[in-house]
């Protein structure tokens, strides 16, 4: 069983590596995303808006 810290590390690494398959395996279903600008985005819209936006920029290496 994967613990919370390992899950967070995998998720952050997926963003750094732009690895959509990895982030898909980390983020469960059902999934929704909420922020001050977005209210309960569906998984599809979250990935359409956020994943494409994040992966179009270079992210720094993250150390936990």
Task: State which H helix or E strand residue 45 sits in.
Answer: helix 43-46
30: preceding bond cis by omega (within 30 degrees): yes
The token duo for 56 is 């179009």
At 6-54, the pLDDT tens digits run 998 998 888 888 898 998 888 888 888 888 888 888 888 888 877 777 6
Q: What residues are paired with 41 via a beta bridge?
A: 33
At 52-64, the pLDDT tens digits run 776 666 666 666 6
Of 19, 51, 14, 45, the closest CA to residue 32 belongs to: 45
**pLDDT number for residue 45:** 87
């Amino acid at each position: 069983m994967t613990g919370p810290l390992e899950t967070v590390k995998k998720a952050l690494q997926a963003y750094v590596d732009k690895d959509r398959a990895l982030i898909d395996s980390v983020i469960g279903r059902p999934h929704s995303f909420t922020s001050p600008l977005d209210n309960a985005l569906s998984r599809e819209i979250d990935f359409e808006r956020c994943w494409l936006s994040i992966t179009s920029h270079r992210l720094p290496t993250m150390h936990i």
